[in-house]
Chains A and B, each alone.
Chain A
Amino acid sequence: MADRYCMHNQLMNDFIDESFEGIRAPFTAGFELTAKCNLNCVHCYAKPDRVHQDFTLEEFKAVFDILTERGLLDCYFTGGEIFTRPDFEDMFIYAKKKGVQISLLSNITLLSQKHIDLFKEYPVEIISTSMYGYSEESYEKVTGVKGSFRKFMNGLELLQKNDIKYELKFVAMEQNIDDLYKVREFGNQLGVPMVVILDVHPMSDGSMEPVSFRLTPEDAFEFDVQDNGRNQFWKDVARELLSGEIELRPQRTIQRFREGYLYPCSIANQHVFITSDLKMQGCVRASYRKFDLRKGGFDEGWEYLQKEFLEKKSSSNYKCNSCENIRFCEHCVANFMLAYGDEEKVDPFFCRVAELRRAFVEDEIKRLAKKE
Chain B
Amino acid sequence: MRQNPDLILREIYGKNILMPIRFNEASNDPIYFNEVGALIWKLSDKAKNVTELLNLVCETYNLKIDSAEAVAVEGFIDQLIESKLIMM
Contact of B19 among A3, A9, A27, A101 (CB under 8 A): A101
Bound-complex Cα distance A122 to B32 (A): 20
How many contacting A-B pairs (Cβ < 8 A)? 75
Given A19-B13, A71-B13, A73-B12, A6:B21 Cβ within 8 A: no
Contact A1 B69 (CB under 8 A): yes
Residues of B near A101 (CB, < 8 A) are 19, 30
Q: Tell whether A97 pairs with B35 under 8 Å between CB atoms, given A1-B69, A19-B13.
A: no
Measured as residues with beta carbon below 8 angstroms from the partner, the interface class of chain B is 20 to 34
Q: How many Å lie between the Cα of A68 and that of B34 in the bound state?
A: 20
B22-51 toward A: CB 8 Å interface, digit per residue (1/0)? Answer: 110001111111111100100000000000
Min CB distance, B67 to chain A, in Å? 10
Which secondary structure characterizes the binding site on chain A? loop
CA distance A25 to B14 in the complex (A): 14
A120 within 8 A of B: yes
Is B29 a contact partner of A5 (Cβ separation < 8 A)? no
Contacts of B33 in A (CB 8 A): 5-6
What residue of chain A has the Cβ atom nearest to residue B63's Cβ?
A: A1
Contact between A8 and B80 (Cβ–Cβ < 8 Å)?
A: no
Known: A8-B29, A120-B23. A1 touches B10 (CB 8 A): no
| A150 / chain B contacts, CB cutoff of 8 Å | none
Q: Which of A5, A8, A10, A100 is in CB contact (< 8 Å) with B76? A: A5
Known: A1-B69, A20-B13, A73-B10. A7 touches B23 (CB 8 A): no
User: In the bound complex, how far is the Cα of B31 from the Cα of A195, in angstroms?
Assistant: 28
A267 to chain B minimum Cβ distance, whole angstroms, is 20
The 7 closest A-B pairs by CB, nearest first: A5-B37, A99-B19, A99-B8, A2-B34, A6-B31, A5-B76, A99-B10
Which residues of B pack against A, CB within 8 Å?
8-10, 12-13, 15, 17-23, 27-37, 40, 61, 69, 72-73, 76, 79-80
